[in-house]
Structure 1
């Protein structure tokens, strides 16, 4: 089945330009755009009141000035968090981004988005899909959107909402081991997303021979990553894509 006509860049900014701005924030996406990145990878999950927000962890301690579970927050409470000061004074006062705000910014910048459905322990995959995926489909054209996840329930629910011709799905793996092909076939996947440190040449060749795009997370050393370009990897999802520019094939 045909997929959207996605022209992947070699480099995708991980959680925005997270080496230079607080991850998963509007500031990080603006920074990525300013440096010439055309695609970003971001995480989405739900607050306790069901609002989809751009956030990675189950809790807020690591990337804000508070502690506690994201699932225990409603939007007004989450808005009071400072999610930039932990990274640096220049970002003090940065607020958590809703999915709606982020989609608006990405569309205004003309960027592509790899949106990872982050289903943390005890959270509903179906509820996340219901709130996040239709909004992304409405905001961005098919050629500028990939929905990815480690969670097969989330990916299956997503596929029920849109056929492969309308929406590209990326299946996340740590390593490409037994069973990868059946997962991708069942979900009519567009791409495989793998930990670059656990890729083998044999696994890479198998993925490419089967016609999938292959994206790697999260390389930040272009010299150590160089051999993977030779193996046929399509894109690197990096905290600092600019480091790779002089090392591209």
Structure 2
């Protein structure tokens, strides 16, 4: 097996950009994360109806824009006309939906790392999404600043067929970690496991770390409640508000797991 890249994961990763202080999954949210010294972000990518990959979480437009309807029925020209910032605050009025190309250009210019989630909606193709995303991602960002994740195993398997582990680090994304979690990781030659922090147990965390995988948790925003998870070996917390951890600093980063 090819070795994994030597990824220097930070303790804190900004969830959908600095989403506690800027509209999620926007260029503004990524710039805001960078401005507070957070150099890794977690973002969601899916396809418009015309096949354009965009940075967006929901299957619909209503929650985070002034539009309505399903993302899968939208063309790029229509997407560019949406305001995706005013819902958050007037300070972000006029913010536009970021295409994957827009976002990768920004991340590359700021030397930022990204945990990019392939968001596969109902009746959407994870294979088509991976085909649209992976070549662009690998062209723009070096492997040591990438982790690709998804709840959709078919999408991850197709992504792995497009690039080996030395070029494309993959993280297995799950809510509760199943008892037979390790075969999932092995079939993908994954580098990490990503889980809901409220469902993680000390035993499962120990299993993951003993097996040599990185362990990332989403989405803790209470550093005191999360404190014991650092002791369990968690590598990174994916938080809406990484700045809130400033008063309760996590321990120093662990050395990277052997590839």
The TM-score range, normalised by the shorter chain, is over 0.9
- Per the normalisation by structure 1, the TM-score is 0.99
Query: Whole-Å Cα distance in 2 between the matches of residues 239 and 53 of structure 1?
Result: 20
Aligned length: 249
Q: How does 1:1-249 map to 2 (within 5 A)?
A: 1=1, 2-247=3-248, 248-249=250-251
In 2, distance between residues paired with 1:96 and 1:179? 38
- Offset of 1:119 from its aligned partner? 0.2
Query: How many angstroms apart in 1 are the aligned matches of 2:161 and 2:18?
Result: 32
Unaligned runs of 5+ in 2: 252-259
1:202 deviation in Å? 0.4
Query: Over aligned residue pairs, what C-alpha RMSD do you find?
Result: 0.6
**How far apart, in 2, do the equivalents of 1:71 and 1:233 lie?**
36
In the alignment, structure 1 segments of 5+ residues that lack a partner are none
SS, match of residue 100 in structure 1: helix
Q: Deviations over 1:165-218 (max 9, x none)?
A: 111000001011222111111010000000000000000000001100000000
Instruction: Indicate the SS of the match to 2:105.
Output: helix
What is the TM-score when the length of structure 2 is the normalising length?
0.95
Q: For residues 67 and 118 of structure 1, what CA distance do their matches in structure 2 show?
A: 19
Please give the per-residue CA displacement for 1:198-243, whole angstroms capped at 9, x wherever unaligned: 0000000000011000000000000000000011000000000011
Aligned-pair distance for 1:3?
0.3
Deviation per residue, 1:93-116 (Å, 9 max, x gap) = 100000000000001001001100
